Chain A
Amino acid sequence: MAFVPSCILHDAPPPVFLASALSRDAAIHAVVAGWDGHPSVPGPLEAIEAAILEREALMSTALPNGIAFPHARSALVTAPVAAFGRCESLVSFGEVPVWLIVAVATPPSQTVEHLQLLSWFTRRCAEAAVLAKLREASTPDAFRAAFAG
């Protein structure tokens, strides 16, 4: 796999571990909140969150293996960014119960980068070994390391 978003993984905020049962919107809110103060996210987080929820309303981004990829292209970010959340209690994304949330936001002009990022994350999340490590990771570094392989 040629594309590895090392910088994006490195700059990603620490993953959010959501212990209590939450709604989909609340879970996304908690994950997106991790971008607060991120150098590539100068815009108001509420607007980015709204863009992600608006996109989610068009079609759920949850895969059958319980991982959701809420994402949006937004002018409020200056470079592609990612944020993660692991839910101890499953969160309902439509009909799919989700245990892992991978949020992605990219500037509107970076369509290819947006697809690269989503493609990379979805492919990593299709590997059983990666998923096992993500389930067990207890620290931000272990979480990032699980993704990076």
Chain B
Amino acid sequence: MTPVSQPDGKQMNAARWVPGARRRLRISELLKPSEKQAILIWAGIAGMLAALVSVGFRRLTEVLHAMLAGTEGNYVDTMARLLWWQRIAILAGGGLAASLVLKLFSRWTRRSAAGDYMEAILVGDGVVPARASIARSISALFSISSGASIGREGPLVQLGAMMASLTARWRKFAPVKCRLLVACGAAGGIASAYNAPIAGALFVAEILLGTMAMETFGPLVFASVISTIVTRLWFGQQPLYQVPSIKLGSNWDFWPLLTLGITAGFAAPLFLKSLDLAGKPFARIPATLRPAVGGLLVGGLACYTTGICGNGHTVVDSLLNHRLLWHAVLTLFFLKWVATCVTFGSGTVGGVFTPTLFLGASLGSLTAALCAPWWPGHLAEETFVLVGMGAFLAATTHAPIMAILMIFEMTLDYEAVLPLMLACVVAHQISHGFHPKSIYAATLRRKGANLFKSRLARLRASDLLKPDPPRVDPSASFSVIAQMFITRPVTWIYVTRLDGTWLGGISLHDVKSFLQQSELASVVIASDILRTDLPAVTANDSMEQALEKFAGHEAEALPVLTNENQPKLTGSLSKNDLLLALAERQTGSAKKQ
């Protein structure tokens, strides 16, 4: 019996038969997911990992905050129990610790070309550097635990994306799929942070990917749902905000809410502009000291009111349940605005998503207070607060659909949807007219979203290829081929010489009926059944050329060959990866127009 050399160099007995090969192939075909199904499974894993790191991070911030403040509870109450100098010390100390962490790990945080998940999704190869992400998250842990006016969703999303990126790199996914999985991790992070699976998927689809194509949206939704389910194991099923049931009296009640949408539409550009400018006063301060100075300033504001501490969840909850008077809300609105700008401008790691909700809620509460004396209807304050949150969010993120659904998910009150839709769309349109760039625009621009889009336009088959395709030598026995079809979810096995010279492919369709024929193991080898009519993609083929080749064939993946007289096999190109890349490019050109 002749030993047959395998691609991995192992020797295999040529005539050794695989018992029950056909049955095993059937089972294998039944159990093995298609490429699209496999992406869904990996998206689910990314969502689960995002939820686990999110739960862990939230627990850590709670523990650390309790240690710093001396008592457990929400940030507003625990900080209120402290003396004025203690508040300043904790916030400034937290900022200093946060910046020292960044300084200590600066060789990782500076070196990483793709520092965060937005970059990894938009410009990079889906690589979110683990050490830099962990360093930034530890920094955020100190800032957030000390009560800085910043949201924790930033590090939650970053960590979720990092776990997804590590998974994708471990599985050696192609860059396009890597990016999709990172996007799934980010969606899982958002869904976990806000107990909002639809908004999690829409955040990434609407803001980062800019596409609702099913190739990408399906996995995002799946990751978000799994993340939410896992998070609920720890934090329960209740929505993020407990809101009294909303009642709209008549159609006239929409007018004040429309006014709120218009107000949010005008206020949001001012907030965005102030965020743009917030970094300037800190430019003269050494980078290491900036978060500490930011913490010191916010600490000063916290001496007046602790309502500005933390991400703002407690105050929003109070606003939704009528526990604050209008003049207190007015003060909080302006101080939170300043505190968020100071924290953001000082370079503190974290998110501005929840502070944005705070400002929207305050704006809604103030509008309610203004309308109450003269409006004849019976609109409850919580309706204004909710609609204000959505409208301000839509106006700052320029993602109205995400804003509508996020507020709905955070409250689970369907009555709120109609006024939300009205106010969100109006606020977004007005804000967009004044400030076309969203709250993430600066980050996206800095991270070179356009660079990626132009790179996508130049993408070649070689950029999308998957290495190590299923390959055998021409002398590989029928049993080796059968074994490979059973163990790998492929419909084609490629045949090359030992030096990689391309010969053809073996179709599962051709050999499927003969897999139970043990006699063929000694009679048939790869060269007997290889087909030369399998179209092959050349490494420098454009995506359109590659797509044309797929159009004429039912294969889910095609071989990628070098551009030589005697072409060599370099990898395989998956139809799914190609469609993902084309969907992203389509979005890119649509945005450009």
- Tell me the A residues contacting B by CB distance below 8 Å: 55, 58-63, 69, 71-73, 108-109, 111-112, 114-116, 118-119, 122-123, 125-126
Contact = CB atoms under 8 A, between A and B. Distances in A.
Given A55-B527, A115-B510, A108 B532 contact: yes
Contacts of A59: 2, 4, 14, 475, 477, 525
Task: State the main secondary structure of chain B at its contact with A.
Answer: mixed
Nearest to B529: A111
A112 B528 contact: no
Interface of B: 2, 4, 14, 474-475, 477, 507, 510-511, 513-514, 517, 519-520, 522-525, 527-529, 531-533
B519 A119 contact: yes
B299 to A, nearest CB: 77
Contact of B523 (A69, A72, A108): A69
A122 B517 contact: yes
14 contacts: A55-B527, A59-B475, A59-B477, A61-B523, A63-B522, A108-B532, A114-B528, A115-B514, A118-B520, A118-B523, A118-B524, A119-B517, A122-B519, A122-B523
A71 B532 contact: no
A58 B531 CA distance: 18
A59 to B, nearest CB: 5
A119 B514 contact: yes
Task: State the main secondary structure of chain A at its contact with B.
Answer: mixed
Contacts of B527: 55, 58
Nearest to B522: A63
A61 B517 CA distance: 15
Nearest to B511: A115
Contact of A73 (B475, B517, B522, B528): B528
B510 A111 contact: yes
B530 to A, nearest CB: 8
A119 B474 CA distance: 20
Contacts of A111: 507, 510, 529, 531
A60 B4 CA distance: 12
Smallest CB-CB A-B distances: 9 pairs: A122-B519, A58-B475, A111-B510, A119-B517, A69-B523, A115-B514, A59-B525, A61-B523, A59-B2
A58 B525 contact: yes
Nearest to B512: A112
A71 B527 CA distance: 11
B513 to A, nearest CB: 8
A63 B519 contact: yes
Contacts of B533: 109
Given A59-B4, A112-B513, 13 more contacts: A55-B525, A55-B528, A58-B475, A58-B527, A59-B2, A59-B525, A63-B519, A72-B528, A115-B511, A118-B520, A119-B520, A122-B520, A125-B519
Nearest to A63: B522
A69 B517 CA distance: 15
Contacts of B474: 58
